Amino acid sequence: MARPFAGFRYTDNMRKEVIDMLIDLNRKFYDNFAETFATSRGKSEPGLERVLQDVYPGSHVLDLGCGQGRVAALLPPGCAYVGVDFSQEMLRQARQRSPADRDAHFVVANLLDRGWPTLVCGEFTWIVLRAVLHHIPGKENRQNLLKQAADLLSPTGRLVLANWQFMEVPRLRRRILDWEAFQLTAADVEPGDHLLDWRRDGHGLRYVHWVDEAETLALAAAAGLKVEALFRADGHQNNLTLYAVLCP
């Protein structure tokens, strides 16, 4: 099994020790609550199914921040799938849930490490970043990650961004805590960064950044990608997730 690289290279103004703290916070959260989190999310979501219906058999799919591997289970037969995540426990869930007839491979890596693309091979016809950019601290780090992903995309490929719109849902906004609960202050983080509470099978904390429509469009432009589709879906009011389908 591949191991995460040592020696991260950060380009943001946010202090390195703060970024390390936030990444470690999220890794511990997903390792500690992997099974509970995977079960709470179900097998699919309408927006995800809408996007993946355009994936044709035989596609090469890269799933960055794959979590419990929902994307792998929704692909048509014959696809080659690579899932990348920083949580060993989430990857264990993904392997257990992956259909036996899927050509699926899983890699553990921290996506803030500039070397992660060397752990995957070739071009991909589909690259999915679902619920991952909002866990990347620092605007420039999010830009760099998306550019690295775009460089792995085939000339006719598609890249999917899907980010949690928790600030638009009142019940989710109520989960936001003051940064003092994690021994930080608002001055330590960037605008749009939040600390969210989790209370299912125990108590946990997560770092989440609100990637809204404006940031989504800016990220796409900085990566040299065009917006093919932009829509909201999922949740009781079809506004839980912002999806963007991007192309070279």
Per-residue model confidence as pLDDT tens digits over 79-109: 999 999 999 999 999 998 888 777 899 999 9
pLDDT for 196 equals 96
* Stretch 10-30: mean pLDDT: 86
* DSSP state string for the chain: ---PPSS----SSS-HHHHHHHHHHHHHHHHHSHHHHHHHT-S--HHHHHHHTTPPTT-EEEEET-TTTHHHHHSPTT-EEEEEES-HHHHHHHHHHS-TTSEEEEEE--TTSTTGGGGS-S-EEEEEEES-GGGS-SHHHHHHHHHHHHTTEEEEEEEEEEEE-GGG-HHHHTTEE-GGGGT--GGGS-TTEEEEEEESSSEEEEEEE---HHHHHHHHHHTT-EEEEEEEE-TTTT-SEEEEEEE-
Residue 160 φ then ψ, to 5°: -110, 125
Q: pLDDT band for position 247 (50/70/90)? A: very high
pLDDT score of 8 more than 50:
no
Cβ contact 157:137 at 8 Å: no
pLDDT surpasses 50 at 13: yes
Residues 25-58: pLDDT tens digits?
999 999 999 888 877 776 678 999 999 999 999 9
Q: Which CATH number fits domain 16-247: 3.40.50.150, 3.90.550.10, 3.40.50.300, 3.40.50.2020?
A: 3.40.50.150
Mean pLDDT of 59-78: 93
The tokens of 4 are what?
A: 């995460």
Question: What are the extents of the domains in the chain?
Answer: 16-247
Residue 91 near residue 83, CB atoms below 8 Å = yes
Amino acid at 79: C
Reported pTM: 0.91
* Per-residue pLDDT tens over the stretch 182-240: 999 999 999 999 999 998 888 999 999 999 999 999 999 999 999 999 999 999 999 99
Q: How far apart are CA 169 and CA 202, in angstroms?
A: 23
